[in-house]
């Protein structure tokens, strides 16, 4: 299928483009996208339960076929702009490729759906086309895609140049599209939480924001970040054995290489466990406020139950009060925040893979009022309360 295609991701016709490099890249991406993910056979074994790829890279558009009627298709897109969402000095191409996909996987997970297909648009200035930047970027992207059985089925590539009257170089921009699927009616919205539901969060909080502080102070990515990322897994149990320096480097990876809670998201949707769900991209206080507004409810959060990332303490760089603020207001943890009715909460597993969940509070009928309960006293948690550190 499209084996002979040379023009795969659609380059535009402008002669101003770095055409040869573009074709080299497209060829690399096409070949890599045709390699089947490790767990693809298990998906195929489920037969008509899943959508199937009919036409991948190499035509005017990609085609996938729904496996059953009333299948819900979930679509998200995330634009990452150099200088706004990332800096090349404080990440690596491989980590950036991972993160570009992770943020969109997280959105699909937060809908209770299983991510299946990805498309990727890249606008890159001349300095990025040179060398192995894009090769390494795609290695990071595909490593994460393979881990979750996601296939790249399309995209677009272009040069970027400075805008009107620009003297300097244009930024690298990456637009990441992920398409997922859920059984009809099982997608989970932000709007389904009811008073009395229990509030849960996956993993731990504050690590990404702590890592961002450390990266900004340091001004550059730590040496060996790619290798460290290779060994890196969510390992709160071992954090007591880490040196401060190790803990700090791992915190930076929390920022640069977020995990997307794909298994949790899909399990919560498929099992009809969650009444509402959102991923923590802006921070617990902001994202919980979004969920409450959509559901027209309030929430009480128990400060003592918030799973603060143990790497923060191990780094010996933040006070306990700072750690709590990072966990409440720091963004980009990409954990899942969800609500469960009391009668179903006992059926919720304590962990999935190595990723735990913890109950941190309860949904109330005080519309839109998000409160933090600390040592028996409740205070209003403002959505943007802890943005400025």
Whole-angstrom CA distances from 100 to 13, 50, 93, 170, 221 are 26, 25, 10, 19, 17
Q: Return the number of the residue (107 or 197) whose C-beta is nearest a second copy.
A: 107
- Shortest distance (Å) from residue 196 CB to a second copy: 21
Q: How many CB atoms lie within 10 A of CB 211?
A: 30
- Shortest distance (Å) from residue 163 CB to a second copy: 4
Q: Return the number of the residue (192 or 310) whose C-beta is nearest a second copy.
A: 192
Q: Which residues of 232-376 form beta strands (DSSP E)?
A: 274-279, 298-302, 336-340, 351-352, 355-364, 370-374
Q: Return the number of the residue (55 or 371) whose C-beta is nearest a second copy.
A: 55
Spatial contact of 177 and 119, defined as CB atoms under 8 Å apart? yes
Q: Return the number of the residue (138 or 239) whose C-beta is nearest a second copy.
A: 138
Whole-angstrom CA distances from 168 to 16, 49, 163, 229 are 18, 51, 9, 32
- Shortest distance (Å) from residue 1 CB to a second copy: 8
Q: Return the number of the residue (105 or 314) whose C-beta is nearest a second copy.
A: 105
Q: Return the number of the residue (123 or 222) whose C-beta is nearest a second copy.
A: 123
Considering all CA atoms of the chain, what is the largest pairwise distance in Å, rounded to the nearest integer?
68
Whole-angstrom CA distances from 237 to 119, 148, 179 are 36, 24, 33
Spatial contact of 170 and 160, defined as CB atoms under 8 Å apart? yes
Q: Return the number of the residue (77 or 316) whose C-beta is nearest a second copy.
A: 77
Burial of 255 (0-12, 13-18, 19+ CB in 10 A): buried
- Shortest distance (Å) from residue 115 CB to a second copy: 10
Q: Return the number of the residue (159 or 310) whose C-beta is nearest a second copy.
A: 159
At 178 the three-state DSSP class reads: strand
- Shortest distance (Å) from residue 231 CB to a second copy: 28
Q: Give the span between the Cα atoms of 197 and 270, in whole angstroms.
A: 19
- Shortest distance (Å) from residue 266 CB to a second copy: 13
Spatial contact of 46 and 155, defined as CB atoms under 8 Å apart? no
- Shortest distance (Å) from residue 116 CB to a second copy: 11
Closest CA to 386 of 333, 321, 334, 337: 321
- Shortest distance (Å) from residue 235 CB to a second copy: 26
């Amino acid at each position: 299928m499209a084996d002979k295609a040379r023009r795969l991701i659609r380059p535009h016709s402008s002669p101003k483009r770095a055409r040869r490099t573009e074709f080299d890249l497209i060829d690399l991406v096409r070949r890599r996208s045709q390699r089947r993910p490790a767990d693809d056979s298990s998906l195929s074994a489920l037969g008509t339960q899943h959508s199937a790829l009919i036409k991948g890279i190499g035509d005017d558009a990609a085609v996938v076929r729904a496996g059953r009627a009333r299948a819900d298709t979930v679509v998200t897109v995330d634009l990452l702009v150099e200088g706004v969402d990332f800096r090349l000095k404080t990440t690596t191409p491989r980590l950036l490729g991972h993160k570009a996909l992770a943020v969109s996987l997280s959105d699909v997970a937060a809908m209770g759906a299983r991510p299946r297909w990805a498309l990727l648009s890249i606008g890159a200035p001349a300095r990025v086309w040179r060398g192995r930047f894009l090769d390494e970027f795609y290695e990071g992207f595909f490593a994460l895609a393979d881990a979750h059985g996601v296939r790249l089925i399309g995209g677009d590539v272009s040069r970027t140049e400075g805008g009107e009257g620009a003297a300097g170089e244009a930024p690298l921009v990456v637009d990441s599209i992920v398409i997922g699927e859920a059984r009809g009616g099982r997608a989970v919205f932000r709007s389904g939480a009811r008073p009395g539901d229990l509030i849960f969060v996956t993993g731990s909080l504050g690590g990404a924001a702590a890592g961002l502080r450390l990266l900004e102070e340091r001004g550059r990515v730590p040496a060996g970040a790619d290798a460290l990322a290779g060994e890196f897994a969510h390992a709160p149990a071992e954090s007591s054995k880490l040196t401060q320096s190790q803990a700090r480097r791992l915190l930076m990876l929390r920022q640069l290489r977020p995990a997307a809670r794909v298994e949790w998201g899909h399990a919560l949707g498929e099992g009809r466990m969650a009444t509402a769900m959102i991923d923590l991209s802006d921070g617990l206080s902001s994202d919980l406020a979004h969920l409450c507004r959509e559901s027209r409810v309030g929430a009480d959060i128990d400060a003592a139950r918030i799973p603060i990332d143990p790497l923060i303490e191990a780094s010996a760089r933040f006070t306990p009060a700072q750690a709590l603020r990072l966990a409440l207001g720091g963004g980009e943890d990409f954990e899942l925040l969800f609500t469960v009715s009391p009668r179903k909460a006992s059926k919720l597993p304590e962990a999935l893979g190595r990723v735990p969940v913890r109950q941190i509070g309860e949904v109330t009928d005080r519309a839109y009022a998000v409160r933090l309960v600390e040592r028996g006293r409740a205070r209003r948690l403002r959505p943007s309360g802890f943005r400025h550190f």
